[in-house]
Structure 1
Amino acid sequence: MSVATCLLLYSFVVAVLGPPLLVRLAHSGVAPRLGVTAWIAALASVTLSWAGAAVFVGVELARMGTRPGRELLDSCFASLREIVTGRAGVVLQAGLLMLSAAAILVLFLVIGRVCRRMLSMRSHTHGHARMTRIVGRRIAGIDAIVLNAPQRAAYCVAGRPNAIVVTSAALDALDRRQLDAVLAHERAHLSGRHLQLLALIRGLAASLPRMALFTTAETEVARLLEMCADDSAARTHGSRTVLTGLLALSGGPLPTDALGATGVAVLDRAQRLAAPSPPTDRARVRALLTATTTLITAGPLVTALLAVSGVMLCGPMAL
């Protein structure tokens, strides 16, 4: 159980220190793709640490299930008890055992809630895509479904097949180059599977609303995904065209669970397109994000190996 304890401690450190660090490094969108990768690494490392801790606890309980409870406690925290004086060790034993049991319970509850929310969102978005194909119309030369509406909006929604939706008011507000740039932005969301990724993160955030790592990731990843789509469209149509198209549609409402060109951080994205960061800043942020992602990704494995080798405080038990 020492490995489980170390994994839980590692996940706690990442959950507490990760959000402010990642916001500081990625919020500006200097390297949005690397920023998304870093956030995913942090979320994955924490959830995998919980899963690994649950597996180690389950294996330990199964292996020692026939032994008396006192012997199980002694074996689980023997090394810790050797370092901390005997009487204080009993309190720590109980606390750590309760922490491990709570982690297992939370893990299974979170998995259940995330799965239910994902299924609900999937049903909603697929229904929305189906309805747009029924009530909308196609216009030659435009790779999107056109809805007659007074609001200026362009967005994509997951379905079978996926749908890109543009309102008639948006068509009136955009020239042809701007329209192509906006549609390229939406295609980047679909090809990058941004909708599915954001739905998963939203499910985690809704299931763990008191954990800043997940709630902050929901906001920050949505922001960075819009910047990734901006960059993809800008590579083909130019930053200025994307910028003017973005501003022409700003203020338009978007449906829930959809991604659109004007859904998140419009002013920050417009400033970013108008005044890109200097190459030196981009290189520095990329290096920092790459190093941070590497450390976070390797964290659970390194923690487990150090625990097994006895290097860490919660090292292997003397059985």
Structure 2
Amino acid sequence: MITAVALAGYAALVGAALPPLLARAGWAHRTPAVAVLAWQGLMLTFVVAASLAVYHLVFAGEHAHGGLIGLLAVCGLAQGAPSHAPAAGDAFVLAAPVVVLVLPVGWLVRCALRARRARQRQLDMLALVGEPAPEYGATVVDHGAPAVYCLPGRSSRVVVTRGALDVLSDAELRAVLEHERAHITGRHHVLHLVVDAFSRAFPGLPLARHVKGQTVLLLEMVADDRALRSHSRDALATAMCEVAGGRVPRVALGADGGGSGALLRLHRVLTPQPRPHWTAWLGIVTATVAAPLLPLLLVCGP
């Protein structure tokens, strides 16, 4: 029972107490890629800790007293495990923690299939109304509202409206196009799917509420940083403002300066902040990797 309480407390710490602190952390906007990793680590840690806590709470018998070895024994994977199939009671107990694991995975599959269908519809539409622009590596759509976005995935596309071509200079256009290519090459749509699935699997959980908005904002900052490697800050900031009013398909990733975190991104682009010392981000990465391992270490012993 002590192990169950410790695991439940750890899950509560990760799922409720830490997310607001991480959302307000100043270092996150200076190293957005590391912050994205930290949010992913919190999600994994919560799932591991919660599933193990549920197992120990509902299975107070001999297998729970055996820690992780007891759980493996139920599955017939541990040395000395009985050769016969697990009893009906064991199977029921295994189902409880398995649900915690399967729930986000099921939502991930559902969200991925739905996003794939939506992207395919957009690609089919672009085949009819889009005009290739090889000089930019993009597809131009005849629409008056300025907008630039990408359709990620296997058949990825960067889309520019005619309105964006009219208002953006060549430098501004190339800066925002590089932002979109950063989304594609970084496979940011996969992380969008992961956080969307997690938030749907655990609605009401503070971690689920924070992780989605923070990950979206941080990935935009990651793409901003990629664009700033080869383009000026003024060009990117101006382009963000010019396309701020453009509407993009829900399944797409857009480089607009509107929406949540717009002012934060613009301020960050125009007034760069010093990055944390390498020892600081190394410590954050180490803690992120160690966090999901702690529950396993707790239950490994008898």
TM-score range, shorter chain: 0.7 to 0.9
Per the alignment, residue 15 of structure 1 pairs with: 15
Classify the secondary structure of the residue corresponding to 1:237. coil
CA positional deviation for 1:177? 0.5
Question: Which segment is superposed worse, 187-196 or 4-13?
Answer: 4-13
CA positional deviation for 1:13? 1.9
Are the structure 2 counterparts of residues 26 and 60 from structure 1 closer, same or farther at C-alpha, using a change threshold of 3 Å? farther
Number of paired residues?
Answer: 279
CA positional deviation for 1:168? 0.5
Aligned 1:23-62 pairs, distance under 5 A: 23-25=23-25, 29-50=29-50, 56=68, 58-62=71-75
Which TM-score applies when normalising by structure 2? 0.80
- Can you list the C-alpha shifts for 1:39-96, whole angstroms capped at 9, x where unaligned? 1111122224456666947535455887998xx9xxxxxxxxxxxxxxxxxxxxxxxx
Are the structure 2 counterparts of residues 48 and 66 from structure 1 closer, same or farther at C-alpha, using a change threshold of 3 Å? closer
Percentage of identical aligned residues: 32
Question: Which of the numbers 123, 126, 142 marks the counterpart of 2:117?
Answer: 123
The structure, 1 or 2, with the larger RCO (C-alpha pairs under 8 Å, 6+ apart) is 1
Aligned 1:34-183 pairs, distance under 5 A: 34-50=34-50, 56=68, 58-62=71-75, 63=81, 102-183=96-177
Are the structure 2 counterparts of residues 4 and 134 from structure 1 closer, same or farther at C-alpha, using a change threshold of 3 Å? farther
Q: Distance in 1 between matches of 2:269 and 2:43?
A: 28
Instruction: Confirm whether residue 190 of structure 1 aligns to residue 184 of structure 2.
Output: yes
- What amino acid does structure 1 have at the position aligned with 2:47? T
Per the alignment, residue 298 of structure 1 pairs with: 290
Are the structure 2 counterparts of residues 37 and 300 from structure 1 closer, same or farther at C-alpha, using a change threshold of 3 Å? closer
Q: Distance in 2 between matches of 1:248 and 1:67?
A: 64
Q: Distance in 1 between matches of 2:38 and 2:144?
A: 39
- What amino acid does structure 1 have at the position aligned with 2:36? V
CA positional deviation for 1:172? 0.5
Q: Distance in 1 between matches of 2:148 and 2:215?
A: 20
Q: Distance in 1 between matches of 2:5 and 2:110?
A: 29
Structure 1: stretches of 5+ with no match in the other structure: 73-96, 310-315
- What amino acid does structure 1 have at the position aligned with 2:239? G
RMSD over aligned Cα atoms: 3.1
CA positional deviation for 1:28? 6.0
Question: Which segment is superposed worse, 136-145 or 220-229?
Answer: 136-145
CA positional deviation for 1:7? 4.5
Q: Distance in 1 between matches of 2:88 and 2:42?
A: 38
Are the structure 2 counterparts of residues 248 and 5 from structure 1 closer, same or farther at C-alpha, using a change threshold of 3 Å? same
Structure 2: stretches of 5+ with no match in the other structure: 56-66, 76-80
Aligned 1:270-285 pairs, distance under 5 A: 270-277=266-273, 279=274, 282-283=275-276
- What amino acid does structure 1 have at the position aligned with 2:224? D
Q: Distance in 1 between matches of 2:105 and 2:291?
A: 22
- What amino acid does structure 2 have at the position aligned with 1:302? L
Are the structure 2 counterparts of residues 66 and 111 from structure 1 closer, same or farther at C-alpha, using a change threshold of 3 Å? closer
Are the structure 2 counterparts of residues 4 and 120 from structure 1 closer, same or farther at C-alpha, using a change threshold of 3 Å? farther
Are the structure 2 counterparts of residues 157 and 4 from structure 1 closer, same or farther at C-alpha, using a change threshold of 3 Å? farther
Query: Moved runs in structure 1, 4+ residues, more than 3 A?
Result: 1-9, 48-58, 60-69, 100-104, 286-290, 306-309
Contact 1:126-1:158 within 8 A present in 2 as well = no
Q: Distance in 1 between matches of 2:239 and 2:154?
A: 28
Q: Distance in 2 between matches of 1:32 and 1:3?
A: 35
Q: Distance in 2 between matches of 1:258 and 1:289?
A: 31
Q: Distance in 2 between matches of 1:132 and 1:164?
A: 11
Are the structure 2 counterparts of residues 191 and 124 from structure 1 closer, same or farther at C-alpha, using a change threshold of 3 Å? same
Classify the secondary structure of the residue corresponding to 1:156. strand
Higher helix content, 1 or 2: 1
Are the structure 2 counterparts of residues 205 and 174 from structure 1 closer, same or farther at C-alpha, using a change threshold of 3 Å? same
Are the structure 2 counterparts of residues 302 and 66 from structure 1 closer, same or farther at C-alpha, using a change threshold of 3 Å? closer
Which TM-score applies when normalising by structure 1? 0.76
Greater Cα radius of gyration, structure 1 or 2: 1
Q: Distance in 1 between matches of 2:48 and 2:121?
A: 32
- What amino acid does structure 1 have at the position aligned with 2:288? I
